[in-house]
Structure 1
Amino acid sequence: MSWRDISTAPDPGTVVCTIDEVEGVRAFDLSGFPLLVIRDAAGLRGFVNLCPHQYLPLDFRGGNILSADGVRLICSSHQAQFDSTSGEVCAGPAMCGLDSVPLRRDGNKITIGDG
């Protein structure tokens, strides 16, 4: 499934937040579209905030979803683990990785990209 297949997927150019609002990982609800934004030394990335195991947000049972070393995103419901750079599944019950959402920096703002 692609992020664009979700009925609430935002249009390219939609403003998510300002760059200063994200350090590490932060979850957003964009009019019903669940988005994770990660900003760290590896850059800026976005993923659909739905664990592919049961399609619950990774932060459904709590907001602490980034491993202490920043390498993995961890589903708070099922403990499935995903690479925080690629979204690929690392461990747990999920059979596939997180769907990537293209982001871009537009001045001080983070927006949905065209990709």
Structure 2
Amino acid sequence: MSWTDYSTAPVPGTVICPKDQVQGVRALTVDTDKGQFPLLVVATDQGIRAYVNACPHQYLPLNYRGDQMLSADGTKLLCTAHGARFDIHTGHVVEGADCGLDSVPVRIDGTMLVVDG
């Protein structure tokens, strides 16, 4: 599934949040014309990454049972519902799920983080 397959997917150019609010891992809800879109933004040593905040195992948000979504070594995103692990840079599954997270392209536009085309 691609992030654009979600019924509430934001259009390119949608403002997500000020870039300085992205530190560590942050779960956000992006309001679109079609409803609310669950987004997970992650500050990494390779820049900011964004994923649909839905574990592919049960489509629950990664922070369903708490906000501790980053592994102790800072290299994996964790599903708090059932413990699946995903590579922080790619969203690829490392353990506990059938497939990886759906990546959402983002860019920094001035001081804001926005959905890229």
Q: Tell me the TM-score normalised to structure 1 length.
A: 0.96
Identity rate, percent: 56
Are 1:110 and 2:81 an aligned pair?
Answer: no
For residues 55 and 28 of structure 2, the distance between their equivalents in structure 1, rounded to whole angstroms, comes to 15
For residues 62 and 56 of structure 2, the distance between their equivalents in structure 1, rounded to whole angstroms, comes to 10
List alignment gaps of at least 5 residues for structure 2.
none
Shift of residue 70, structure 1, vs aligned partner: 1.1
> The residue matched to 1:4 in structure 2 has which SS?
helix
Q: Tell me the TM-score normalised to structure 2 length.
A: 0.94
Are 1:42 and 2:46 an aligned pair?
Answer: yes
Amino acid at match of 1:61: R
Are 1:101 and 2:104 an aligned pair?
Answer: yes
Q: CA RMSD in A?
A: 0.7
Shift of residue 40, structure 1, vs aligned partner: 2.4
Which of 84, 90, 98 does residue 86 from structure 1 map onto? Answer: 90
Ranges of 4+ aligned residues in structure 1 off by more than 3 Å: none
Amino acid at match of 2:56: P
Amino acid at match of 2:81: S
Amino acid at match of 2:103: S
- How many equivalent pairs are there? 113
For residues 83 and 103 of structure 1, the distance between their equivalents in structure 2, rounded to whole angstroms, comes to 18
What is the CA deviation profile of residues 83-110 of structure 1, one whole-angstrom value per residue up to 9, with x for unaligned ones? 0000000011x10000000000001100
Amino acid at match of 2:108: R
